Structure 1
Amino acid sequence: MNTSPSLPLFPLHATLLPGAALNLRVFEPRYLDLVRECGRTGGSFGVCLILHGEEVGAPATPAAWGVEATVEDFDVGPDGVLVLRLRGTRRFHVMTTHVRDNGLVTADVQWCELDSDDELQPEHGLLATLLEHIIEQIGGEYAAAGPAQLDQAAWVGWRLAELLPLSETQRLQLLQENDPRRRLDRLLEWIPELDVPIEEDL
């Protein structure tokens, strides 16, 4: 793992995942300052799930694992609030946190190794089929996914983590797992408890 000092954090009641998109409304001065700073320096920031506290007001307590966010697009909503289109990239582990005078939380982090492009194992084949059914139903940006992506253990795991009705705590558990195949094992354990209507069609 590589260490990076002072990564600004944006704690949310949602878990950003590698490769996933997230729309984020930004209106608090500390986060507007963060966006300006990233635009000026070309830097990035991290998104972490809130363990204690709220998204506004006093600094919240973030989870010790998160994902780096890059800004793909931005707009201003009808109410004049800045809306960012984020994309999750690298996972990181928070080592220590600091709070700036304006209430912005920053962290010293260790960057996790990038996922390998291991092929899906036979015992995880059901998960690729499930993901394919979900994509067929919802369309969207993953509609063009081909066999090569559906055969990648890491890609299948992250897309299912994004699209299945998991709890944020479950998504956080997957973020802490370095092995793509172990993530798929966890998903196999959880699927019987989920309300997935298309499961009967598999």
Structure 2
Amino acid sequence: MAAQLPLADLPLFPLNTVLYPGGQLHLRIFEPRYLDMVRECAGTGAPFGVCLILEGGEVGMPAQPAAVGTLARLTDFSHRQDGLLGIVAEGDSRFRVLRTRVRSDGLLRGAIELWPDETPHQVPVEFALLQTILERLIDTMGPHWRHAPRDAYDDAGWLGFRLAELLPLATEEQQQLLEMTDPLRRLAALRDILPRFQKA
């Protein structure tokens, strides 16, 4: 389990995206600091941390990361036709950044505190519409979830995280949903957002 790993000095990857537990992340890697990070993680099996960028950019000077992020574990990598390294990572536990430092090569590293996994909740009947909406979103936008087991849709945490990934939300909203610790509250927030996407 991730909670058993020493995470006093975790490499951090600030991005303009939010990674959720169980989610997939596809990246092209070209900066030397991140190539070194991928080699390190591939060699040791250790995760890296993905945090939303609050200030700065994905390239160049180290960006300011959000305080809450998600562990990412490499699941695949390949050399792309454009010469860049492509990686696939899967979201694991969430964490809070306690402090950060910048290594001499520009890689951001942080001491983190892992969050406990959410208590599983069955999806209440009042959120059944969200299950139907997720099925439609997966058909058109999330093909890698098409073979998810049927009972996954009954898990409030999984349902909320997948909707937060696939709905066209602002990154600030995605971050707020990541930081919620109650899966039923997250579903309620998503239900309240839905009218925005209904056609007039």
TM-score (norm 2): 0.91
Query: Quick one: distance in 2 between partners of 1:136 and 1:190?
Result: 21
Name the SS for the 1:145 alignment partner: coil
Aligned to 1:18: 21
Query: Quick one: distance in 1 between partners of 2:147 and 2:128?
Result: 19
The partner residue of 1:161 within 164, 184, 195 is: 164
Aligned to 1:58: 61
Deviation by residue 1:22-58 (Cα, 9 ceiling, x = unmatched): 1111111111111111122221101111110011111
Q: CA deviation at 1:65?
A: 0.8
CA contact (8 A) 2:42 2:74 kept: no
Taking the TM superposition and a 5 Å limit, the aligned residue runs for 1:1-202 are 4-138=7-141, 140-193=143-196, 195=197
Query: Quick one: distance in 2 between partners of 1:123 and 1:117?
Result: 17
How many equivalent residue pairs? 196
Identity %: 45
Amino acid at match of 1:124: F
CA contact (8 A) 2:141 2:166 kept: no
Distance 1:39 1:146, change over 3 A: closer
Amino acid at match of 2:50: V
Name the SS for the 2:40 alignment partner: helix
Q: CA deviation at 1:139?
A: 6.0
CA contact (8 A) 2:14 2:52 kept: yes
Query: Quick one: distance in 2 between partners of 1:132 and 1:39?
Result: 33
Deviation by residue 1:77-122 (Cα, 9 ceiling, x = unmatched): 1121101011111111111111111111111111111122210112
Q: CA deviation at 1:144?
A: 2.2
Amino acid at match of 1:10: F
TM-score (norm 1): 0.91
RMSD: 1.7
Query: Quick one: distance in 2 between partners of 1:35 and 1:196?
Result: 41
Distance 1:36 1:147, change over 3 A: closer
CA contact (8 A) 2:21 2:161 kept: yes
Q: CA deviation at 1:130?
A: 1.2
Distance 1:25 1:138, change over 3 A: closer
Deviation by residue 1:160-181 (Cα, 9 ceiling, x = unmatched): 0111111111110011111111
Query: Quick one: distance in 2 between partners of 1:92 and 1:117?
Result: 18
Query: Quick one: distance in 2 between partners of 1:139 and 1:56?
Result: 27
Q: CA deviation at 1:137?
A: 3.7
Compare 37-46 and 128-137 and name the one that shifted more. 128-137
Name the SS for the 2:8 alignment partner: strand
